[in-house]
Amino acid sequence: MHFPLKVLLSASVALNLSGCVPVLIGGGFVAGGYTAMRDKKIGSTINDTKLDAAIKTRLYKISPKLYSDVSVVVDHGCVLLTGSVSDPEWVVVAERESWAVDGVVAVDNNITHGEAITTAQTVKDGYITSVCRTSLMCTSGVRSVNYKLKTMNNIVYVRGVSKTEEEKQLVLAKLQKVRGIKKVVSYVTVSNRK
């Protein structure tokens, strides 16, 4: 029995959006909306997207190489910078340019300078991030969509908001068990909403 490509793609998207077990209804997969599952409000998501674009634009105007070497992740107005740059001054410049964007509330600068990251390392980091995401999606009591992950040189950076301290500790414990990780750097906070 062969499935059309559209069905397989829909199933893949549903699986990624809804967790480990998609719901099968009427022969098709149905997934809850991403923003419906996430504790973050749509307006906040749009604002983070604007901040991300503004920071990347500023970095590109300084140097396309700086733009390509620095990864920017924004969540709730907090900026996570990772990457490896050839000029040590660019570490400071990237942070300064991030703070210059109106609406940024925190900048966590994890940029290194020196040796460029190889393609093989980039692939390995991408694989580790995928395994980490899958692990969180398949963990009961964790809303995986509330966490953003970035892996750089086998170091996993995680940012997000947990509902409880127990959820935060569970997330960190799950990530630390993923094979190939040197360490987990946490920027996870606990929600003050009851």
One domain, residues 70 and 100:
yes
Is residue 17 in a domain?
A: yes
- Tell me which of 84, 113, 142 is where a domain ends: 113
Alpha-carbon gap, residue 73 to 26, rounded angstroms: 38
Is residue 37 in a domain?
A: no
Q: Which two tokens stand for residue 98?
A: 């991030």
Name residue 155's amino acid: I
Spell out the per-residue pLDDT of the chain, length 194, in tens.
Answer: 444 444 434 444 444 443 444 333 333 333 333 333 445 566 677 899 999 999 999 999 999 999 999 999 999 899 999 999 999 999 999 999 999 999 999 999 999 998 888 899 999 999 999 999 999 999 999 999 999 999 999 999 999 999 999 999 999 999 999 999 999 999 999 987 65
135 with 158: CB under 8 angstroms? Answer: no
Closest listed residue to residue 57, CA positions, set 98, 23, 92? 98
Q: 64, exposed or middle or buried, with CB in 10 Å at 0-12, 13-18, 19+?
A: exposed
- Tell me which of 113, 133, 159 is where a domain ends: 113
pLDDT value of residue 41:
63
pLDDT value of residue 115:
80
Range of the domain at 57: 42-113
- The rounded Cα 127 to chain-centroid distance in angstroms is 13
Residues in a beta bridge with 188: 160
Please, which residues have CB within 8 angstroms of residue 71's CB and are 6 or more apart in sequence? 81, 82, 83, 150, 152
pLDDT value of residue 40:
57
pLDDT value of residue 67:
96
Q: Which two tokens stand for residue 36?
A: 């419906």
Name residue 16's amino acid: N
pLDDT value of residue 39:
56
Q: Which two tokens stand for residue 32?
A: 């809850």
pLDDT value of residue 194:
56
Please state, in angstroms and as integers, the Cα–Cα distance from residue 146 to each residue in 18, 31, 46, 57, 88, following that order: 13, 17, 15, 26, 33
pLDDT value of residue 45:
78
pLDDT value of residue 154:
96
pLDDT value of residue 152:
94
Alpha-carbon gap, residue 87 to 51, rounded angstroms: 24
- Tell me which of 69, 97, 113 is where a domain ends: 113
pLDDT value of residue 16:
42
One domain, residues 109 and 67:
yes
Alpha-carbon gap, residue 112 to 143, rounded angstroms: 31
One domain, residues 123 and 186:
yes
Q: 47, exposed or middle or buried, with CB in 10 Å at 0-12, 13-18, 19+?
A: middle
| Number of domains forming the structure of the chain | 3
CATH at 103: 3.30.1340.30
User: 3-class SS at 139?
Assistant: coil
